[in-house]
Structure 1
Amino acid sequence: MKPPRAAERPHSVVFHGHERNDPYAWLRDENWQKLMQKPEVLRKDIRAYLEAENKYTDSVMKDAAGAMQVLIEEMKGRIKREDASVPQPDGPYAYYARYEANSQHPIYCRTRIAAPGAPAFTWTRSEEILLDVNALAAGKPFFRVTSADHSPDHAFIAYATDEKGSESHDVIVRNIATGKVVDQNVSGTDGGIEWANDSRTFFYCVLDENHRPSRVFHHRVGDQQKKDVLVYEEKDSGFFVGMGKTESRKFILINAHDHVTSEFLAIDADQPAAAPQVLAPRTPGIEYHVTHNGGRWFIHNNADGAEDFRISVAAVDSPDRANWSDLVPHQTGRLLLGMVMTARYLTRMERVDGLPRIIVRRLADGNEHTISFDEEAYDLSMVAGYEFDSDTLRFAYSSPTTPREIYDYDMTARTRQLRKRQEVPSGHDSSQYLSRRLMAPSTDGELVPISVLHRRDLAIDGTAPLVLYGYGAYGMSMPSMFIPNRFSLVDRGFVFAVAHIRGGTDRGYRWYREGRLKKKPNTFRDFIAAAEHLIAKRYTSQGNIVAHGGSAGGLLVGAVLNQRPDLFKAAVAEVPFVDVLNTMTDGTLPLTPPEWPEWGNPITDADAYRTILGYSPYDNVAAKNYPNILVTAGLADPRVTYWEPAKWVAKLRAKKTDTNILLLKTNMAAGHAGAAGRFSKLEEIALIYAFLLKVFGRLNLVKARAKRRVA
């Protein structure tokens, strides 16, 4: 079957006196806002092209269909079929979610606690099922419950549903005692739900016509949405709006933010009709987040030159910046990531030398101690509980070789209790694998951390294929965590590496600053430097590497393929942000104005225009050889709209001079996050892994394993 060729239709774009030809602009449906809610309205010629690409992908991968099924079953074998989260106490109940053996979706439940301070969780005797998502999802091509939260009095559960993958949600409320729906009147939200303390009022955030969360309302259970009261409206199109609630349950929080600036407003949770009060007016470049205890606000912020953040305090009735005083001062090289508050302790997560640790601070006297681990690379996260008057901190730990472990930590006794260890039913022996942390010198001498995972018995002689994963944007670090699916490649001789490149905060906030705006090219240089270092250390060889990334990491993949295609045997770009210049010069798109602080505003700034033009993957596709490439997209994706990967693939097909494989797989019934079910997701991963095994000539390893299993 021949690959589809998209028609070229003349379309010129002019900014700052520079004219660009965009022959595939027609792949953007101008009715895209409606498309997010009704994918069936997609224009016929666009649908025909996307479906032709899907059919071509199926044809090329036909010889790998059997291997994909084996991989799916293999990955299923690493998932505990009957599983449950660790119950989270809240007053007389403990709340949790569980999966039944063959279920795709969670079942939200609770059970009574036998005695105060001594929870006894019994799955059958006292379990109440609050919400069975499998029943709700039955017969629907896509269905996700994005959030579910019970009311403070334990009488109701409110949950947000997305049936398109577009991240536009309906909010539904059930009476827990009767199981009956008592409210399904709220729609068009971002999925967030925050209950007021009266247990009859909740807050939600509405998406505007450009899919931006912009207005907060409060809603009385049972009322029609048209009666809801507007609490806050963000009129700056460059800011998103979100919500939260302090751990003390005293305040509902509204935050307006872009990627480098934030502003918080608070509402007394006992008085949901009260007007929100601004805590500290927004100042460009100043980020802050707040929580509350007693008469004070605790403010995690980067004001006054605290680039790696500090924690300040201020009285509840005088929260303006002028009244902030340091509790945890700024320390260069120690990035404060976040905090969790309980009645007597403040815990914070920080990263030093690329590794996270938890610091526990007793509020009474400021005494601190540290929770840390010894592996070379690992991931650590704190889990906020429902109960404020508690001395227990829940945290989760994993590493590339160590399955996830969840602990309850007694902050007074300084003892930890293992509550759950991730089970791998098909077996996992950590001693059979090695995890290493390397440092690669970039072009300017900066050292780029690389996390490496491989089998202990793998020969480090340059012959192994290697997957190099990266992201490098928005200050997001790439966690060194246990991802069981990766062992389907690692056990077949692949090395899996993660490059902690600039644009993330793996080495502090400076690491982020050095990989955004005009310094964005550092992100790509770092990734290339990581690949070259892995070659030099004989983990792999030139032309034996896979460049892998998704969303902004797909931008990374597209940029490095244009710059150094010779390094790579293959590339996987999942929902890639590749048409950067066209997107950033269109202020009507949902992510454009809030993205300008990250990439620059090429509409008003000619220098930003030239910088983005220099690396935008779509604009830099050239007539040369490219490696084998698999690209994925989601039709209802509001973050990276489907036409970006479609246009990129169309241009690559027209320009590239090689005969390597180029595939575009669009999920016609999902959005940015792909399939919703826990097993359905495996189909997407299996396609990626089968593609890589195919291009590296290793499909036979999958078939051989399948035969051994049958035998």
Structure 2
Amino acid sequence: MQAPIAKKIEKKLEKHGDIRIDNYYWLNERENPEVIKYLEEENKYTESILKPTEEFQAKLFEEMKSRIKEDDSSVPYKLNGYWYLTEFQKGKEYPIHKRRKDTLDNKDEILFDVNLMAEGHAYYNLGGISVSPDNSLCSFGVDNVSRRIYTIQIKDLKTGQLLDDKIENTTGGSVWSADNETLFYTRKDDTLRAYQIWKHKLGTSSSDDILVFEEKDETFSVYIYKSKSRDYIIIGSSSTVSDEYRFIPSNEPDTEFKIFQERERDLEYSIEHFGDEFYIQTNKDDAFNFKLMKTSINATEQNNWIEVIPHREEVFIEGFEIFKNYLVVEERTNGLIQMNIKAWDNSQDYYLPFSEETYTAGSGTNPDFDTNILRYGYTSLTTPTSVIDFDMKNQTSEIKKEQIVLGDFNKENYTSERIWAEARDGEKVAISLVHHKDTKLSKDTPLLLYAYGSYGYTIEPNFSSVRLSLLDRGFVYAIAHIRGGQYLGREWYEDGKMLDKKNTFFDYIDVAKHLINIEYTSSAHLYGMGGSAGGLLMGAVINYEPTLFNGVVAQVPFVDVVTTMLDDTIPLTTGEYDEWGNPNDKEYYFYMKEYSPYDNVEKKAYPNLYISTGLHDSQVQYWEPAKWVAKLRELKTDDNILLLDTNMDTGHGGASGRFESLKEDAKEDAFLFMLEGITK
């Protein structure tokens, strides 16, 4: 089958006296039958190229699925007199949400069987489960399109019936006031930005709801939550570089929200309540790695803030958790998470011990305020995820659950390490790697290099049972902890955004070259992978170094940077100006244009490419990868594979359901194996 060729309709895009010609701009016409026809033709072409791997894909899918315990359940947690848990049943795609009153020995009360609710839907996502303080009602949100637009409904947990209340165009989450009758929720605008907080009274029409707060600044998004103490309802309004909070007592839903501290450019902070005080994680006074402060509930402006934990240049404060008797602070030092436990009475101050060379840990579900038990998660590239209850007073641990990997898995068969590569400007970039112990590292070893590198998001060295299919067939899996993430603290993020964004791409390239230089692999066996902003990374890298990789997988890639960032009607654009820059400013426009993957496709050879998207993607619109593929088809000079795979039913997160997404993993793996000549 011949590759589809998209028609060209010239579109001139002019800004700052600069003219760009976009011949595939027309592909953003979602309702145009020709657009759908083109996407379907690309899907048929992808199917034809991968047809020899169909049986292998099916085998990989079953292999991945067979490692997962189908009849499984979460570790129960206690909240307000009930134990809550989530259960999966054999042969079913979706969870069953349950609770048990008082003790775990009592019978199950089913809140939601999502399998029944999802019947007849190609995509179904239930989220935002919130139980009323008197335990009698439960609000929840449903998205059955995959655009991350949820309809909130309320279930009577005594009768099992849904109330007539129905609230559309929300983020899905909601917060109950202490009166069990008032619900606060967040609405989205036409660009899908969360911009309003509304108040709903039970039994009334959503048309009668009251607007509580509207965020006028298009670079900010809003959200609402209840303090862990359950004493306050808090509205947060955040941009990339600034925060502002408002609060009311949760038993006074009709009072006016009070500003905690007015927003200031470059002042970031977050708050949590304890006793007569609020605790604040903030970068105030140039504390770029953040510090912890506190203030009275009656005097919340920053001139009243008192330092609790000072700023340290070598320690990045990731977050904190408050208990009645203890404060737990999550810190990152030299890329690794440490958990500092402090007793309020100063009787104890210590760190949890972690021993592996590369790992990740983090606070788990801890809704109970009055307990000495900290629940946290631990995992590494070779260690399945464990949920651990740690007694902070006695310093004893109980593993409540370790991820079960079915089959012949033995963690001793795999080895992981962390090495460092030197970037072109002298910075040291960490690489976390894992492979089967029998895999010999050489120029002939296939290696998949994953990275993200944006928004300060750190790709953690987590365990993955799906990844075993690669490792057992001789692949090395590596994570490049490049700038743009926060692996080495806040400055690591700042050095990979705005007018320093190219550091992200160059770090990745330099890591790849280092792995080749130390003969862990070679260009003939090196593969790249990234999704969303990581897909941007893939697109930029293959423009800079098209012969460095044999193949690249770009998942839902953000590749048309300049055009998207100039269109403030597209979801998320305005809120991203402090991440990428605002191209209405000439300096940012031309800097973006230098790396934007779509704008820099040239007549040259490119590696083998597998590019995926979802028709309903709300984060990266489907037309970005579609246009990119069309332009690559037109200009590339090689005979390498170029595939566009569009899921016509889903959005940014891919397929819903527990196992359906494994088919996407199996397809990506089959593509990589095909390039390596691995057939079983």
Question: Does residue 614 of structure 2 align to residue 614 of structure 1?
Answer: no
Say if 1:68 and 1:686, in contact at 8 Å, map to a contact too: yes
Partner of 1:679: 659
Residue number in structure 1 paired with 2:215: 234
Select which of 631, 653, 673 maps to 1:651.
631
Alignment map for 1:32-431 (pairs within 5 Å): 42-114=31-103, 121-122=104-105, 126-365=107-346, 367-431=348-412
Spell out, residue by residue over 1:272-295, the C-alpha distance to the aligned partner (whole angstroms, 9 max, x if none). Answer: 112111111111112111100011
- Compute the displacement of 1:460 (Å): 1.4
The residue type paired with residue 67 of structure 1 is: F
- Separation in structure 2 between the aligned mates of residue 488 and residue 275 of structure 1, nearest angstrom: 55
Kept in 1: contact 2:454–2:533 (CA 8 A): yes
**Match of residue 688 from structure 1:** 668
Specify the alignment match of 1:499 in structure 2.
Answer: 480
Of 482, 493, 500, the match for 1:512: 493
Decide whether the 8 Å contact of 1:162 with 1:168 is kept in 2: yes
Return 586-595 or 651-660, whichever deviates more. Answer: 586-595
The offset of 1:374, in angstroms, is: 0.8
Change (3 A) 1:591 1:676: same
Match of 2:611 in 1: 631
Give the whole-Å Cα distance in 2 for the aligned partners of 1:277 and 1:392: 33
Q: Which amino acid aligns with 2:648?
A: M
**One-letter amino acid of the counterpart of residue 27, structure 1:** L
Unaligned runs of 5+ in 2: none
CA RMSD of aligned residues (A): 1.1
Find the residue that maps to 2:261 and give its secondary structure: coil
- When normalised by structure 1's length, the TM-score is 0.94
Q: Could you tell me which residue of structure 2 aligns to residue 433 of structure 1?
A: 414
- Which one is further off, 488-497 or 407-416? 407-416
Secondary structure at the counterpart of residue 248 of structure 1: coil
Instruction: Please list the CA deviations of residues 207-245 of structure 1 after superposition, one character each: whole Å capped at 9, or x if unmatched.
Output: 111211100111122221011111110011111111222
Look up the SS of the partner of 1:632 in the other structure.
strand
User: 2:570 corresponds to which residue?
Assistant: 589
Matches for 1:463-474 after TM superposition, within 5 Å: 463-474=444-455
What SS class does the counterpart of residue 235 from structure 1 fall into?
coil
Q: 2-side partners of 1:406 and 1:384: how far apart?
A: 10
Q: Verify the 8 A CA contact 1:174 1:183 in the aligned structure 2.
A: no
CA contact (8 A) 1:158 1:193 kept: yes
- Give the paired residue count: 680
Distance 1:259 1:661 in 2: 38
Q: Distance in 1 between matches of 2:303 and 2:437?
A: 56
Equivalent in the alignment of 2:14: 14
CA distance in 2, matches of 1:216, 1:153: 23
1:640 counterpart (603, 613, 620): 620
Q: Which of 466, 471, 475 is the aligned partner of 1:485?
A: 466
Mapped to 2, the partners of 1:354 and 1:372 lie a distance apart of 16
Verify the 8 A CA contact 2:77 2:365 in the aligned structure 1: no
CA distance in 1, matches of 2:595, 2:222: 30
Which whole-Å CA distance do the structure 2 matches of 1:158 and 1:211 have between them?
A: 21
1:375-410 superposed Cα distances (whole Å, 9 cap, x missing partner): 111111102422211111100000000000001111
Does the CA-based 8 Å contact 1:170-1:184 persist in structure 2?
A: no
What displacement does 1:367 show?
3.9
Amino acid at match of 2:234: L
| Alignment partners' CA distance in 1, 2:408 and 2:21 | 54
Instruction: Answer yes or no: is 1:662 the counterpart of 2:642.
Output: yes
Identity of counterpart residues, as a percentage?
39
Amino acid across the alignment from 1:458 = T
Q: CA deviation at 1:260?
A: 1.8
The CA deviation at 1:307 is: 0.2
User: What is the distance in 2 between the residues matched to 1:465 and 1:59?
Assistant: 25
CA distance in 2, matches of 1:644, 1:146: 28
What corresponds to 2:528 in structure 1?
547
SS at match of 1:167: coil
- Per the alignment, in what secondary structure is the counterpart of residue 523 of structure 2? coil
Structure 1, unaligned runs of 5 or more: 33-41, 115-120, 703-711
- After superposition, give the CA deviation of every residue in 1:561-612 in whole Å (9 maximum; x if it has no partner): 0011111010000000000010111122121111010011111x11111110
Give 1:184 shift.
4.0
Asked if structure 2 preserves the Cα contact closer than 8 Å seen for 1:142 and 1:163, the reply is yes
CA contact (8 A) 1:544 1:567 kept: no
- The answer to whether the 8 Å contact 2:165/2:204 transfers is no
**Inter-CA distance 437–183: structure 2 relative to 1 (3 Å threshold):** farther
Instruction: Check whether the contact 1:183–1:221 (CA below 8 A) recurs between aligned residues.
Output: no
Correspondence 1:25 to 2:6: no
Conserved 8 A contact 2:245-2:259: yes
Give, in whole Å, the separation in 1 of the partners of 2:575 and 2:394.
45
Aligned match of 2:5:
5
One-letter code of the match for 2:493? Y
**Structure 2 partner of 1:706:** none
Write out per-residue CA displacement over residues 648-691 of structure 1, whole angstroms, 9 at most, x where no aligned residue.
01100101000111111111111100111011111111110111
SS, match of residue 589 in structure 1: coil
> How far apart in 2 are the matches of 1:430 and 1:537?
26
Residues 542, 566 of structure 1: 8 Å contact kept: yes
The one-letter code matched in structure 2 to 1:226 is S
Amino acid at match of 1:16: H
The secondary structure found in structure 1 opposite 2:579 is helix
**Any conservation in 1 of the 2:556–2:613 contact (CA below 8 Å)?**
yes
Aligned to 1:38: none
Instruction: Verify the 8 A CA contact 1:185 1:223 in the aligned structure 2.
Output: no
Q: Matched residues in 2 for 1:81 and 1:369: separation?
A: 38
CA contact (8 A) 1:213 1:242 kept: yes
Question: CA separation in 2, counterparts of 1:184 and 1:425?
Answer: 44
Q: What displacement does 1:364 show?
A: 2.4
SS in 1 for 2:673: helix
Task: Return the alpha-carbon distance in structure 2 between the equivalents of residues 342 and 333 of structure 1.
Answer: 26
Deviations 1:18-56 (A, max 9, x none): 110011110112xx6xxxxxxxxx221111111111111
Runs of 4+ in 1 over 2 A off after TM superposition: 364-367
